[in-house]
Structure 1
Amino acid sequence: MQLTRLFNEFFNSEKASGIILIFVTILSIAIANSSLQIPYINFWHTDIGGHDIVHWINDGLMTIFFLLIGLELEREIYHGELSNFRTASLPIFAAIGGMFMPAAIYLLFNYGTETRAGAGIPMATDIAFAIGILSLLGRRVNPSLKIFLTALAVIDDLGAIIIIAIFYTQTIAWLNLLIALAIFIVLLILNRLKVHNLIPYILGGILMWWFMLHSGVHATISGVLLAFTIPFKNGDEKSPSYKLQHFLHKPVSFFILPLFAIANTCIAIPANWVEGLAQASSIGVITGLVIGKPLGISLFSFAAVKTGLCQLPSQVSWKNIIGAGMLAGIGFTMSIFITMLAFKDEDTINNAKIAILMGSVISGIAGLLWLRITLRKQSITPGQ
């Protein structure tokens, strides 16, 4: 299978971004627990225009991240691995299982408690980290497995966005929401009228974001909506969608995501942090990511294939699917994002962040070791 140039660019940029995310995360945690702890943490909570820096990053810059995710999803639907239902169905079923099972496991520990709102935390997959870890396996990873994991993560992120819109939206200012949706419709009309200049879409997207920000619905939703108004045409290098996606890759991978990681992992780890991991919310997050993700992805994929709804990609074994499920347990970026929406108590938020880091590290190491062993055996005995 030949990978397209754009997919290669996406994969490689996410791979490099994953390495950078690992570095800045370690650096941020180290500074937050050094002699610079107080000024460092206070810096990220500096008020600018009525909101602190972290808020502007999470509600502003992350909208651009979701715009890129939306453009990637649009490309896959119109011109990629998700353009045919039979081809797309496996990562779709896998993503559903990978969202349902972690949430169910989380609720086993937190049902009826104040922390039940965190059920969405272990449902997410971090694309950059997951692909970054997969890239460490080098050429032994075949293109089908790369595409499966990428499509799974993209669909997973879309699911997380829908969950944010439905379950993590509080008071709705209907007038602002209707104006935002009206702008979305206008942009769709421009698309149908074959207006291919990106400027009206970008300006309209900024307005849609502003009204969405003041509607009560999370502003990042506007990024995904904007993506589906951008003209795709035939998906070649001249299409507006391709140009914008190509332009956004590096700023998102090397600036926005690392900045998000730094701002949201300035965690002052308390002396009793181990006790924090014993809380129901922390247990739910860790077990949801480490156990729920691979279990849900594997079981739903197996059921879908056995019932004839889809087929296993060429050169991909069930052991590979399990390994990809383990890597999908790296929930870092989206999990932290949902944590900030699910909880208000600072201690609960910090405990959840530490649990996310623990669960993601365990999932990443487990997935790397599992795939290293199984892929080596496959290279020795083809078709095993």
Structure 2
Amino acid sequence: MGLSPRLTGRATARAHHSPAATAFLRRIEPFFAGSEVTGGPLLLATILALVMTNSPWARAFEGFWDSPVAIRFGAEQVSHTLAEWIDHALLPLFFVIIGADVKREMVSGPLAHWRTAAFPLAGAMGGMLVPVGLFLLVAGGTEGQPGWGSVITTDTAFGLALIAVFATRLPAGLRALMLAFAAVDDVGGLLVIAFAYSAAIDPRGVIVAAIALAGIVGLRRVGWVSSVPYVLLALIVWGGVLESGIHATIAGVMIGLTVPVAPRLEQRDFAEKVQRRVDEFQHAHGAAERADDDEEEQQLRERAEERLGYLHEMASATRVASSRLIEILTPWVNYVVLPLFALSNVRIHVSGALLSTVFSPLVLGVVLGLVVGKPLGFLGFTWAASALGLARRPDQVSWPMVVGVGALAGIGFTISLFIAGLAFGGGELREAASLGILIASILAAGIGYLILHRCAEPRRAVEAPAMP
């Protein structure tokens, strides 16, 4: 988590000139920089969307996102609004990262042991069932009842960004715990979308997606290296899921789970295999520098280039595919996908009529489900699973930290807003549900931050080195 070594060095140098500014930037750094999904751009886009939807330009702003965009091929066409294309075509990229990251943590990270992996799974079950139960206890039997699905999911970007604020002051297993919990939570939300908020599921699309997914797995088993077939098959998986009527974000999770989390070539094997080629490259390069004949020099340089190509491919084989994929997608998700989602989906028109719904069963149900139900369900189910010997807390993660993660899980923003739109369309009930999600997310973020702040190790004062 945090900045790259190069940027860290630049920040250290700037600390000599403006210590106060540097301290401020270090506090907001986890929200905008680093190699993982962050919540800063999403937060700014959310604020901008709230401002625009309550400005004189609200109609034009919302009309832009509601503009139809059609893809035609002969007589066939697929038409959705711009906002829907963002939901269906861009948001799955976020879930590719989540799927790949979770697989990495469960195969080679803090959740590698099955009992440790069962811990967030148990928490996710409680984090879905208890919030829905509390929501229905308050809003069941009212016109807001269809919004029960909006309290199921967790906003992974905001949750991970708040954990990243503490950087090395919290154990690494805590981030893995939050990530795995949120991933299972989001998959649960996507299944709810598929089976509770979809009119019908076309089995043909499911079959096409399943065949393409099997193709990806098959290529992996035979050791296929080129990325082109994988990209094409991933697009087919996405298209099949979209055509089936299931929300396309679930395709992102499935694709992410197929990405390898181990390198094709271990570093110790790399050292053994390339040494001879390095020597051959050095010999050919040196001989080319000394050659008197142009033709001989050309042949020697081509031989050196061939050795370089071999070394390049072998070096590439030492990189983990999931890490490379996450590295490529993360900047696009942080600065394009999630901000566009917020701009196109956050539609809360603040008015006296809307504020009067704060104590309505729908808003109270959403707030109670997310702020109380998430930590209560997460803590209760993980404690029960641990007491029964079915699960084990990650190393160095305390029970107060578990409560903090459960509180952060109440930040139900991204998919919660989307489910609210599916449940209520574009009317007043959707705005009331969105208001409840916004209030709950602010409360959950504040509570989770305070708990983790108390759990984190004290911040060590780091003095900038003296300038030469």
TM, length-normalised to structure 2: 0.73
Q: Give the Cα separation in 2 of the matches to 1:14 and 1:327.
A: 21
Aligned to 1:52: 81
Measure, in 2, the Cα distance between the counterparts of 1:14 and 1:113.
44
Q: 1 CA distance for matches of 2:423 and 2:35?
A: 27
- 2:58 matched residue in structure 1: 37
Alignment of 1:20 onto 2:101: no
Does the aligned pair in 1 maintain the 2:347–2:431 contact within 8 Å? no
1:13 Cα offset (Å) = 4.1
Does the 8 A contact of 1:145 with 1:316 survive in 2? yes
1:86 to 2:107 alignment: no
Query: Does residue 213 of the first structure (1) align with residue 242 of the second (2)?
Result: yes
Aligned length: 373
Pick the aligned partner of 1:191 from 217, 220, 234: 220
Alpha-carbon distance in 1 for matches of 2:34, 2:459: 27
% identical equivalent positions = 33
Tell me what 1:178 maps to. 207
Map 1:132-171; keep pairs closer than 5 Å: 132-137=161-166, 139-171=168-200
TM-score (norm 1): 0.88
Deviation at 1:60, TM superposition (A): 0.9
Q: Give the deviation of 1:336 after TM superposition.
A: 1.2
Residue 254 of structure 1, aligned match among 316, 328, 335? 335
What is the letter of the counterpart of residue 64 of structure 2?
F
CA contact (8 A) 1:13 1:253 kept: no
After superposition, residues 1-384 of structure 1 pair within 5 angstroms as 13=34, 17-49=38-70, 50-137=79-166, 139-234=168-263, 238-375=319-456
Describe the shift of the 1:323–1:240 C-alpha distance in structure 2 as closer, same or farther (beyond 3 A): closer
Over alpha carbons, which structure has the higher Rg?
Answer: 2
What is the CA deviation profile of residues 137-161 of structure 1, one whole-angstrom value per residue up to 9, with x for unaligned ones?
A: 4543232333322222223223223
CA distance in 2, matches of 1:101, 1:377: 34
- Partners of 2:381 and 2:35 lie apart in 1 by 26
Distance in 2 (CA, whole Å) between partners of 1:209 and 1:76 is 24
8 Å contact from structure 1 (residues 13, 250) kept in 2: no
Alpha-carbon separation, structure 1, partners of 2:393 and 2:257:
29
Provide Cα deviations, 1:48-107, integer angstroms capped at 9, x if missing partner. Answer: 113211100011101111222221122223222332112212222112111111111111
Distance in 2 (alpha carbons) for counterparts of 1:73 and 1:374: 24
Equivalent residues of 1:231, 1:240 under 8 A apart: yes
Distance 1:145 1:170 in 2: 38
The answer to whether the Cα contact below 8 Å between 1:15 and 1:128 also exists between their aligned partners in 2 is: no
Cα distance, 1:126 vs. partner?
0.9
**Distance in 1 (alpha carbons) for counterparts of 2:47 and 2:39:** 13
Moved more, 251-260 or 344-353: 344-353
Bigger CA drift: 314-323 or 37-46? 314-323
Computed over aligned residues only, the root mean square deviation of the Cα atoms, in angstroms, reads 2.7
CA contact (8 A) 2:105 2:176 kept: no
CA 1:137–1:188 in structure 2 vs 1: closer, same or farther (change >3 Å)? closer
Q: Is the 8 A contact 2:417 2:434 kept in 1?
A: yes
3-state SS of 1:48 partner: strand
SS, match of residue 355 in structure 2: helix
Structure 2: give runs of 5+ residues left out of the alignment.
5-29, 71-78, 267-317, 461-468
**For the residues of structure 1 that align with 2:226 and 2:347, how far apart are their CA atoms?**
40
Cα contact 1:130–1:327 (8 A) shared by 2: yes
| SS at structure 1 position matched to 2:200 | coil
User: For the structure 1 residues 15 and 266, does the alpha-carbon distance in structure 2 shift closer, same or farther, using more than 3 Å as the test?
Assistant: farther
Q: Distance in 2 between matches of 1:118 and 1:133?
A: 27
Distance 1:378-1:242 versus aligned 2 partners, 3 A rule = closer
Aligned partners of 2:334 and 2:459: how far apart in 1?
Answer: 32
Deviates more, 1:140-149 or 1:29-38: 140-149
Aligned position for 2:296: none
